[in-house]
Amino acid sequence: MKKKIFGKVLLILAVAVLAIFAVSCGEKSRGTVELINIDYKNMTYVGNSLKDFSLLFDEQSEAKDPMSGNGGMPSETVTVYDADSDGDIDESDLEAVFDVTVDLKCVHYVDCIYVYYKTDGKSLTVEAGTPFKYEFSQTATGEKFKWSKIDIKGDYRYVNLKFKNGQAPTEVLFYGYKVGEYDEVNTEPHTSKTFSYFLGINGNRADKLPELRCANYFRDYFTWTWAYNKSAYPDAGTNFLMTSSNYYDLFYDMLNMAEMKTVPCLMYTSEEVSPALKDSDKYSPASYVMYGEFVHQFARRFGFNPDTTVNDIFLELGSQDEYNKDFIKWIEIGNEPNGEGNNGYNPYQLAALTSCAYDGHNSTVTAPDGSGVGIKTAAPNVKVSMAGLAGINKRYIESMVFWLENNRTDGTIGISAFNVHTYCRKQITYNGYSVYTGVCPEIGNIVSDELKDLIDYRNKYYPDIEIWVSEFGWDTNQSYETENAAHAYGPYTGRQVQAMWLVRSYFMFAGAGVDRAAMYMCKDTVSEEVGGKYGTCGVMTIDGKYKDSYYYIYTLKNTMSDMYFAEIIDSGNEDVWIYRFENGEGKSCYAVWCPTMDNVRFDNFKLNVNGQSATLVEFKNEEKSGVSSTLEVKDGAVSVNVSECPILVFVK
């Protein structure tokens, strides 16, 4: 009897041990809790601020592993910010609350996080789960010079850190393991655009067609209140048929007949022309109902809606043929709005504005008079570009996309182009003073790592989205008070330097995968003698004289409009760059130049080409198609003189 009882006990114990072993094995099969390394350069950290919080994750090394008792002492600290950008840090700044969301890129079991503070009494709220509707929330207070543990213990992809200004942790470490699968990424190569689509110039309604025709697309600065009376809101929309918009009927019709691809940039650059209702919540799409009403009417008039039966109260103000003009195919939602304070927009705010302007935030925003809101509700075929950002900021764009993906309900992000601006300058010492000057695009890294990262992000996750560089350029004023000047050197005048740097930039942008690039700008705003930053960036002087750059860009248009980027060719010489373009019909163009600004040149350079005949095109002032000459193809190569002014070699 005792043996039987003993045997049963052993059996029960064995079953229990097996059960415990099975559970432990099952848990272990999910993963082992370990440090999740947050690569702050490549991961997405989105937030309601323009501030760079990468310091929270910049010391993610094995030497700092507090769970294993080897936490170390992080050194980099996030500083207090001037949150309202008024020039002073005061109590209101310290009340600002920042959100930083860590996207782990797939679901992880997040066991806990460790936070380190260099000062006492810092409060941190940790949220996890569905963005903007987080299911998990816990607030903890850190201790000075210690790692504090905050348990999470759940399967999450997104973890949000919320803290007041000046109370950010010194470092944050995540522990857990991967549970889900990473998002699939696109592996198909990006399709290059032809120069007929790619080659652009900036300007405004004061510019004339001959001045603009050197390029193929025109970015038109249009302040939205030119055709909308904010002060009359909620009846302001009736002001859309004012004289200025009637002028634009003729202007856009002229551009359309000339086959200029026009992109109106509908700007709001000061408090006087703010697109938000007064004292409204800039995080709410409904705050931008005025601007949404305006872009709806703008798209209704100058775009095209195949449904001509759309009920629109504004048709009562004019005949049907005053609408559906089909003059424009794109609209850009603003110019350089990224800035803190009353007149600027952080990523979430700009996303809310953009969603309203796109389609009234999934048609949830309506105008008080019953008219439509948003571009797509008026002209569904018109595409929308985000506002061109001052500078290249991938994290800002990722933040916008994050908000749009998690707040819109139709599966779209409300934009068809990511849009940035960039300029090339460096600090030098001149006559004993520290000054800035323009530098060539290669030395200035006009195709910067940040731009490459943005293009890679687009290629992987949003291959149908275009990338635009809608402003770049150099001044021709020669004063060192002008921070962006293309200074004369060697045999080149300042105007020649501007021209050849612009051409080289176009080639580099095309080679990087940029879909549209627009130089700044058509016409100078001040005389070349007066100067001033960006005042003499035009292809034309303020008194109407064309610069070399006008003819250089025109030469690209007249010789390369059917060409698209094919490849970068290794010349065997770091001071000779070769980009090959083709038209898909057996014709190639080799763009060749020296990427320097020291009067480097190579005479009788052997250029290998694939073709039987070759034509050299050299850029020249007052020549809209350059100067052409025939080259002899011998043993699969031609001999050319290469300098810092590019040359084009066309081969069949």
pLDDT for res 22: 43
Cβ within 8 Å of residue 85, ≥6 positions away? 339, 340, 341, 344
- Distance, C-alpha 287 to centroid of its chain: 24
HSE-CB of 253 using CA atoms within 13 angstroms? 11
Alpha-carbon gap, residue 332 to 495, rounded angstroms: 30
Tokens of 593: 């130049």
Question: What is the pLDDT averaged over residues 379-395?
Answer: 96
Percent helix, strand, coil in the chain, to 5, is 30, 30, 45
Average pLDDT over residues 402-421: 97
Q: pLDDT higher for 195 or 46?
A: 195
Closest among 165, 143, 206 to 53, alpha carbons compared: 165
pLDDT band at 240 (very low <50, low <70, confident <90, very high): low
What's the confidence (pLDDT) of residue 379? 93
State the average pLDDT for the chain.
90
Write the CB contacts of 35 (distance below 8 Å, at least 6 apart in sequence).
Answer: 60, 62, 65, 67, 173, 174, 175
Quickly tell me which residue has 């600027």 as its tokens: 344
Whether cis (ω within 30° of 0) applies to the bond prior to 521 is yes
Question: What is the C-alpha separation between 446 and 463, in angstroms, rounded?
Answer: 22
* Total Cβ atoms within 10 A of residue 641: 13
Q: How confident is the model at residue 451 (pLDDT cuts 50, 70, 90)?
A: very high
pLDDT-based confidence at 272, cuts 50/70/90? confident
Is the Cα dihedral 38, 43, 49, 52 positive or negative?
A: positive
Is the separation of the CB atoms in 638 and 607 below 8 Å?
yes
- Mention every residue, 6+ apart, whose C-beta is less than 8 A from residue 421: 336, 388, 389, 390, 391, 392, 469, 470, 471, 472
* Mean pLDDT across 511-533: 96
Other CB atoms within a 10 A radius of the CB of residue 600 amount to 15
Q: Which long-range contacts (CB under 8 A, 24 or more apart) does 287-290 make?
A: 287/352, 287/353, 287/356, 288/352, 288/353, 288/356, 288/357, 288/365, 289/356, 289/365, 289/366, 289/367, 289/368, 289/373, 290/228, 290/230, 290/233, 290/236
What is the predicted pLDDT for the residue at 244? 58
What's the rounded Cα separation, in Å, for the pair 625 and 554? 7
55-59, 297-301, 338-342, 477-481: the lowest-pLDDT one: 338-342
Residues near 397 by beta carbon (within 8 Å), at least 6 away in sequence: 347, 386, 389, 418, 420, 454, 457
Bridging pattern class, strands 647-651 and 614-618? antiparallel
Cα 87 to Cα 256: distance, rounded to the nearest angstrom: 46
Give pLDDT tens digits for 321-376: 567 788 999 999 999 999 755 678 999 999 999 999 999 999 999 988 787 899 99
Rounded to an integer, what distance in angstroms lies between the CA atom of residue 374 and that of residue 275?
13
Distances (CA, A) of 67 to 33, 140, 170: 10, 18, 17
Taking 80 as the threshold, does the pLDDT of residue 310 lie above it?
no
> What 8-state DSSP symbol labels residue 278?
T
Q: Find tokens 């003698």 and name the residue.
A: 529
* Predicted confidence band of residue 242 (pLDDT cuts 50, 70, 90): low
Separation CA 96–CA 165 (nearest Å): 5
What pLDDT does residue 47 have? Answer: 77
Q: Which of 199, 265, 279 is nearest to 226 (CA)?
A: 265
Question: What share of the chain has pLDDT > 90, as a percent?
Answer: 75
- Residue 234: asked if its preceding bond is cis (omega within 30°), the reply is yes
CA distances from 403 to 92, 100, 268, 614 (A): 26, 12, 21, 52
> If you average pLDDT over residues 222-235, what whole number do you get?
88
**What confidence tens digit (pLDDT) does each residue in 61-106 have?**
878 999 999 999 998 888 898 887 777 888 888 999 999 999 999 9
DSSP 8-class letter at 370? S
The pTM score is: 0.92
Give tens-digit pLDDT for 120-158: 778 999 999 999 999 999 999 999 999 999 999 999 999
Of the candidates 523, 479, 525, 476, the residue with the CA atom closest to the CA atom of residue 498:
476
Which residues neighbour 5 within 8 Å (Cβ) at sequence distance 6 or greater?
none
> In a 3-state reduction of DSSP, which class is residue 211?
helix
DSSP code, position 190: P
Question: What is the pLDDT averaged over residues 505-534?
Answer: 96
pLDDT score for 20: 46
When pLDDT is cut at 50, 70 and 90, the band that residue 43 belongs to is: confident
Nearest to 479 by CA among 440, 529, 520: 529
Q: Across residues 286-294, what is the average pLDDT?
A: 95
How is residue 206 written in tokens? Answer: 């004061």
Specify which of 245-259, 330-344, 421-435, 574-588 reaches the highest per-range mean pLDDT: 574-588
What was the pLDDT predicted at 151? 98
Neighbours of 308 (CB within 10 A): 10
- Angle formed at CA 247 by CA 241 and CA 253, multiple of 5 degrees: 110
- Sequence-distant (≥ 6) Cβ neighbours of residue 240 within 8 angstroms: 227, 228, 294, 297, 298, 301, 314
Model confidence at 6, pLDDT cuts 50, 70, 90, reads very low
- Domain coordinates of the chain in residue numbers? 34-178, 228-421, 564-651
Whole-number pLDDT of residue 341: 57
378 exposed, middle or buried (CB, 10 Å; 0-12, 13-18, 19+)? Answer: buried
Domain 34-178 of CATH type 2.60.120.260? yes
Instruction: Determine the Cα–Cα distance for residues 92 and 110; give it in Å rounded to an integer.
Output: 34
To the question of domain 564-651 being in CATH 1.10.10.10, the answer is no
Asked whether the predicted pLDDT for residue 591 surpasses 60, the reply is yes
Cα 528 off chain centre by:
31
pLDDT of residue 112: 98
Q: Which two tokens stand for residue 210?
A: 């001959």
Strand intervals (E) in 252-402 = 261-267, 330-335, 383-388
